[in-house]
Amino acid sequence: MIEKKKVIIDCDTGSDDSVALVLAMLRPEFEILGITTVNGNRCVEYTTENTLRVVEFMGNKWPVFKGCGLPYVSTMLGRRPGYPRRDGSGPANNAGVHGDFIDQLPKATIKEQDKPAVVWLIETLMAQPDHSVTIIPLAPLTNIAHAVHIEPRIVDKVKEVMYMGGGYIIGNKSPVGEMNVWMDPDAAEVCMEAGFQNWTFVPLDATHDAYLTMDDAERIRAVGTKEAEFIADLTAQRIKGYSTWQKVKEDNAAPVHDPLTVAALIDESVLVDCVPAHCQVDCGGGAAYGQTIFDMPAINGRLDALPPNCRVALHADRIKYVNWIIDTLEQAKARS
Ligand code: BDR
Ligand code: CA
């Protein structure tokens, strides 16, 4: 009997969040305590609906809690163009990489739980032993920052955080701003100051190393399950969207960011060169707005760097990642 990791997934579903959810739900190593949603790729009403669609598709075994609809410092809404609005209007994110809804799945017939995500996070974490829960944030950190602000003792309940966010060379919303952090830099800075043990950043630099090609999508589809087909379709959608938005190292390819965190929790060797760092987030409103500034003594040799508050993966192994996705789908098929 394997001892399961108790995990909470915080997401803004989203095409790559959907893939992460499906793969996490298929892994027997995880006990998913619940899924929290947040404003991000689209407004929280949409990201919640998308999350419910995925939960229903996968058998409706996990509670979903709707989270914050505005960034931590809510007056920042509109400070930058591109924020999804509460009614779902506003510029569509990333040229069709996500779309509004996960159109591959029918409208959800299930509903989110009554309890707000931040309340559920606090209650759930406080009921757990110290250092026992893994958090997988795949979105702006608004829910987690609010939970920490209201009940700082939750930090001690967390064993590890595997976060898709940030970048040290690559940005996507700006030259230095990664979407999840850029959407709510104040929340990210609150989390960096909170004293979490074992916080790992899986930044764009790692996820862009671990891009998927159309050939990979077809290898995934060939597994022949409904989950494989869903992931292959979303990967193809992302490749099409990325072709007019951001290049990776090959043509006809795109990063599928969020599931790299899930893979790393099962096989950390998908992350390459994971180094300790002190991370600060620029909340200033200038050109570096939303930048994750990583002070990495192993790289820059700075002897007076502040003590590390995280690790950051500088690279990733794309072949291992693709094989891990296929292996996860194959193992689930064999069990069914
Ligand atoms: C991150 O931003 C979102 O668009 C994706 O879902 C991912 O979590 C990548 O920058
Ligand atoms: Ca996401």
Mean pLDDT over 206-224 rounds to 98
Dist. CA 334 → ligand 1 center (Å) = 31
The topology under which CATH files domain 5-335 is: Inosine-uridine Nucleoside N-ribohydrolase; Chain A (3.90.245)
Question: Quick check: 231 pLDDT over 70?
Answer: yes
- Tell me the pLDDT tens digit for each residue of 131-155: 999 999 999 999 999 999 999 999 9
Name the CA dihedral angle for 255, 93, 290, 202, rounded to a multiple of 10 degrees.
-20
Closest CA to 166 of 208, 219, 133, 124: 208
Question: Quick check: 81 pLDDT over 50?
Answer: no
DSSP element (H, E) containing 158 = strand 158-164
The pLDDT of residue 96: 72
Q: Pick the atom of ligand 1 nearest to 138's CA.
A: 8
pLDDT band at 86 (very low <50, low <70, confident <90, very high): low
- Tell me the pLDDT tens digit for each residue of 91-125: 545 557 877 788 899 999 999 999 999 999 999 99
Ligand 1, atom 4: nearest CA belongs to which residue? 41
pLDDT band at 65 (very low <50, low <70, confident <90, very high): very high
Question: Quick check: 36 pLDDT over 60?
Answer: yes
Closest CA to 52 of 111, 137, 139, 115: 111
What separation in angstroms does the CA of 290 have from each of 53, 189, 268? 30, 10, 27
Mean pLDDT over 40-52 rounds to 92
| Region of poorest pLDDT, from 166-170, 235-239, 244-248 | 244-248
Q: Which residue has the tokens 């509903």?
A: 111
Mean pLDDT over 76-87 rounds to 52
Q: State both tokens at 305.
A: 């760097």
Per-position b or e across 173-211, b if 16+ CB within 10 A of its CB: bbebbbbbbbbbbbbbbbbbebebeebbbbbbbbbbbbb
The pLDDT of residue 3: 86
The pLDDT of residue 2: 73
Question: Quick check: 76 pLDDT over 60?
Answer: no
pLDDT band at 43 (very low <50, low <70, confident <90, very high): confident
Ligand 1, atom 10: nearest CA belongs to which residue? 179
Residues with CB under 6 A from ligand 1: 14, 16-17, 41, 138-139, 164, 172, 178-180, 257-258
Instruction: Determine contact, residues 242/254, Cβ cutoff 8 Å.
Output: yes
Higher pLDDT, 92 or 187: 187
Instruction: Determine contact, residues 264/210, Cβ cutoff 8 Å.
Output: no
Q: State both tokens at 195.
A: 């004293």
Instruction: Determine contact, residues 199/311, Cβ cutoff 8 Å.
Output: yes
- Cα diameter, the chain: 56
Number of H helices, E strands in the chain: 12, 11
CA angle 268, 17, 325 (to 5 degrees): 45
Q: State both tokens at 59.
A: 């058998």
Can you give 203-237 as a three-state secondary structure string? Answer: CHHHHHHCCEEHHHHHHHHCCCCHHHHHHHHHHHH
- What is 271-314 written as a DSSP string? EEEEEEEEEEE--SSSTTTTBEEEE-HHHH--TTPPPPSEEEEE
Domain ranges of the chain: 5-335
The pLDDT of residue 17: 98
Sign of CA dihedral 244, 245, 250, 252: negative
Instruction: Determine contact, residues 298/275, Cβ cutoff 8 Å.
Output: yes
| Percentage of the chain lying above the pLDDT 70 cut | 93
Q: Which residue has the tokens 């075994």?
A: 61
Q: Pick the atom of ligand 1 nearest to 94's CA.
A: 4
- Tell me the pLDDT tens digit for each residue of 261-309: 999 999 999 999 999 999 999 998 888 999 999 999 999 999 999 999 9
Instruction: Determine contact, residues 88/45, Cβ cutoff 8 Å.
Output: yes
Question: Quick check: 194 pLDDT over 60?
Answer: yes
Mean pLDDT over 210-235 rounds to 98
Question: Quick check: 84 pLDDT over 70?
Answer: no
Question: Quick check: 201 pLDDT over 70?
Answer: yes
The pLDDT of residue 32: 98
DSSP letter at 108? Answer: P
Dist. CA 31 → ligand 2 center (Å) = 20
Q: Pick the atom of ligand 1 nearest to 183's CA.
A: 2
